[in-house]
Structure 1
Amino acid sequence: MSDPHRHHHAHHHRDHHDRSQDAHAHHDRSPAARWRRFAHLLAHRLTPHCHESADKLDPALEASAHGLRALWVSLAVLGATALAQAAVVVASGSVALLGDTVHNTADALTAVPLAIAFVLGRRAATRRFTYGYGRAEDLAGIVIVLTIAASAVFAAWTAVDRLLDPRPVAHVPAVAVAALAGFAGNEWVARHRIRVGREIGSAALVADGLHARTDGYTSLAVLLGAGGAALGWRLADPVVGLAITAAIVLVLRDAAREVFRRLMDAVDPALVDRAERVLGEVPGVRGVGELRLRWIGHRLRAEVALVVDGEATVREAHRIAVAAEHALLHAVPRLSAALVHADPAPCPGEADPHLALAHHAPA
């Protein structure tokens, strides 16, 4: 019943316009400009307004900016790691290290679609995209899953090819050092992505962080392959390459599951329980009917039907609805807005007020 973000946008736009006008008048010091500035300032002071929402950065925009910073930092770290590993691959011919390098490169490049999604998610809603562009983050998740699948296919193909045509691995110590570098770079990126992803509520960023962590373990597997090659086992390198492929497939399964759940509007049931409990404690609420939560990007939206006193006035029912939304915004992390509908408590002998809608309900 209320949308605080619409008011926030209006205040932000007005204050930005006011600052632009003041800056323009500051550069023009003519008498006419001074009079316009005085009139504008007087009107601004006498017009009722509020700066509280305008002076604070929108949480969704702040979260997107935080996610973007994490992506660019991780892209730089993984890019440098992959370049160092690629140089060793060329010198050594290690197929296990090649698979790890390709996977690290793919992991670094997944930051690009996710960054585009974060930028799109910051755009305001329009009359066509009335919920905004937050779903772009879920589409980026699909791109990430497809990228992981492609890297698994490539790693498997190179490992099988080397099994059929074994070749010695040169510069084994360099391969070992490159494997350790891959583990260190991936583990740092994993911790950074997971921490930021959990802070802003981005399942795609958390999944990408878990992906990077598994990449670190595959780098350690490359280290085992280098050890086997040093001991004279020629098949150690391609066998480890196949093990890396299996690890990538496991990551693919987990990432696909997370993306599928977001696309199907799945939420943690504990959030629903918390929301119901908080709503039931709002003064004036006699019961909680339908309650729905859904992710749009890394922000949550809620739709709630509350039962209130049937004799309550429209203003009283609206006050209860606003109080309910306010309580939800404080209780449910990363909730951006809630649409609250008030239903009158049933009276004996009274027909169901929703009876006229019954024939529209799905079978």
Structure 2
Amino acid sequence: MNDRHTRGDGHGHGHRQHEHHDHPHPHPHSSRTRAAALRHRLAHVLTPHSHDSADKLDPAMEASARGMRALWVSLAVLGLTALVQAAVVTVSGSVALLGDSVHNAADALTAVPLGIAFVLGRRAATRRFTYGYGRAEDLAGLVIVLTIAGSAAFAAWTAVGRLLDPRPVTQLPAVAVAALTGFAGNEWVARYRIRVGREIGSAALVADGLHARTDGFTSLAVLVGAGGSALGWQAADPVVGLVITVAIVLVLRDAAREVFRRMLDAVDPALVDRAERAVRAVPGVREVGELRLRWIGHRLRAELSVVVDGESTLRQAHAVAVEAEHALLHAVPRLTAALVHADPAPAPGERDPHLALAHHLTA
């Protein structure tokens, strides 16, 4: 088939992002299909919407804008928290609080690579970057993971140094107040980042939120260290510094797993099942073949093949592909485009139309 959306001459060709608000394409001539088409048109009249390229871009732009707001608000809150704690460190000499304040400062600064990634993600696709720049967000997530690792190493080095060279901690009430301030600021930022990150589908922003949540609990550990110092246990402060290091390593593990899964195109298997169910329910789809989903930043793209009636005309097969993409756009959150390849149902004794590609597929 030589239609610009659906081709039957091999893999890798299919239905592209397109305009189909009114769906003027002919559907297969069955009563079931005609009834489904009538219901679909009524739904469009009652709940107007569109899946044009421009309409898809608007939610994506809004997602990036929300991510930017979350970053800059977080930067302000964590920056202020780190300044308060640093001021107390200078008068108290608390190693645990120093580790916490440095970690908070590093967490605030992770807004910079994420902000750059969100700005890049808004740029249109080019002939070189045909999928756009959404993957910059994954690189930002990698920078965040490396930042967490660096702060863990610094906290460990400082704590071990204080264990080898013990020093008294002064201004314990101020240390306690700074610790509570750190917990409050980090927990608020964590909730905000994780909520926005999950709503817009940004693994990097979620990882950053998990990072902030761990910072909150490490601030409480500083409070425990201040209590131990008040009771006369001089090693309490550096011991708590080591505990903070362990907590940072734990969040490093979770954040790294999330970011590297995204970089390797991992998706929730339940999302794949949901997409398959939606496509199988489309009139004219006999079977769903290979279905792939991938994240590009905080947006999803799909590639799949469907089996249609072998006697269908080009226009009829195209209409089924349109409906398959339409069903996916409604069923899969944050999906912006689907590439649908229509295969004819095999007839007895018919040669496999994809046989010419076999030597490429096994290479």
Give the structure-1-normalised TM-score.
Answer: 0.86
Q: Which amino acid aligns with 2:86?
A: A
Q: Deviations over 1:69-102 (max 9, x none)?
A: 0100000000000000000000100000000001
- In angstroms, what is the RMSD of aligned CA positions? 1.8
Shift of 1:362: 3.1
Pair 1:222 & 2:222 matched: yes
Q: AA paired with 1:244?
A: I
Aligned match of 1:323:
323
> In 2, Cα distance between the equivalents of 1:156 and 1:56?
47
Number of residues of Structure 1 aligned to a counterpart in Structure 2: 322
**Cα drift, residue 160 of structure 1:** 0.2
Deviation sequence 1:201-238 (CA, Å, 0-9, x none): 11111111111111100000000000000000000000
Report how far residue 361 of structure 1 moved: 1.1
Give me the whole-angstrom Cα distance separating, in 2, the residues matched to 1:230 and 1:301: 57
For residues 265 and 256 of structure 2, the distance between their equivalents in structure 1, rounded to whole angstroms, comes to 14
Change (3 A) 1:52 1:319: closer
Query: Which structure ranks higher in relative contact order (CA pairs < 8 Å, sequence separation ≥ 6)?
Result: 2
Partner of 1:39: none
Q: Which residue does 2:234 correspond to in 1?
A: 234
SS at match of 1:58: helix
Q: Which aligned pairs between 1:1-363 and structure 2 lie closer than 5 A? A: 1=5, 2-4=15-17, 58-362=58-362
1:6 to partner: Cα distance: 8.1
For structure 2, the residue ranges without an aligned partner over 5 or more in a row are: 6-14, 22-49
* Cα displacement (A) at 1:55: 7.7
Give the 3 Å change call, closer, same or farther, for CA 224–251 of structure 1 in structure 2.
same
Task: Supply the distance in 1 between the matched residues of 2:85 and 2:258 (Cα, whole angstroms).
Answer: 30
What is the percent sequence identity of the aligned residues?
83
| SS at 2:64 equivalent | helix
Structure 2 CA distance for partners of 1:352 and 1:79, relative to 1, 3 Å:
same
Superimposed CA distance per residue, residues 141-161 of structure 1 (whole angstroms, 9 cap, x where no aligned partner): 110011001000100000000
Q: Distance in 1 between matches of 2:88 and 2:18?
A: 52
1:275/1:251 CA distance change after superposition, 3 Å: same
Measure, in 2, the Cα distance between the counterparts of 1:52 and 1:124. Answer: 15
The 4+ residue runs of structure 1 with deviation greater than 2 A are: 1-8, 50-57
Give distance in 2, aligned partners of 1:62 and 1:362.
42
- Call closer, same or farther: CA 1:55–1:331 in 2, change over 3 Å: closer
Unaligned runs of 5+ in 1: 9-49
Q: Provide the C-alpha distance between the structure 2 equivalents of 1:204 and 1:143, rounded to a whole number of angstroms.
A: 10
Task: Return the structure number with greater helix share.
Answer: 1
Letter of the 2:72 counterpart? W
